[in-house]
Amino acid sequence: MWRARSIRTAFENAVTAAKLDSPLHFHDLRHHFASRYVMRGGAVPALQQILGHAIQAMTMRYSHLSPKHLREEMTRTERTETTSDRAQARAHEASQLVGVSGNLA
């Protein structure tokens, strides 16, 4: 088992060695995990248990959706609506044709 101090020290040494432009804290990894988990389709109630939060509102503060992810979700929804709209239009046209041919008979 790893001691908490040795993990933190290893992390801090890695951050220093990486010479990052912006500060990166050990706690930032928790936010990153939560965000990636949700963006990959993970369930928020499960994430709440994984993170050990008592209330879902706290879990939502940890799971940040990236702008790219939000755009992709919007695009996916638009495609679904468009496909659905086309299917409904075709069904309506077909019902109109059935009605017309029924009237002619």
Question: Tell me: the pLDDT tens digits for 35-84?
Answer: 999 999 999 999 999 999 999 999 999 998 899 999 998 888 776 556 66
What's the domain range around 45?
Answer: 1-65
- Number of domains observed in the structure of the chain: 2
Q: Rounded to whole angstroms, how far apart are CA atoms 54 and 105?
A: 68
CB 29 within 8 A of CB 62: no
Task: Decide if pLDDT at 104 tops 50.
Answer: no
86 and 41 in a common domain: no
72 and 26 in a common domain: no
Q: Which of the four pLDDT bands, split at 50, 70 and 90, describes residue 1?
A: low
pLDDT at 31: 94
Residues 6+ apart with CB under 8 A from 56: 44, 45, 48
The number of angstroms, rounded, from the C-alpha of 50 to the middle of its chain's C-alpha atoms is 17
73 and 48 in a common domain: no
Residue 30 CB neighbour total at 10 angstroms: 12
7 and 49 in a common domain: yes
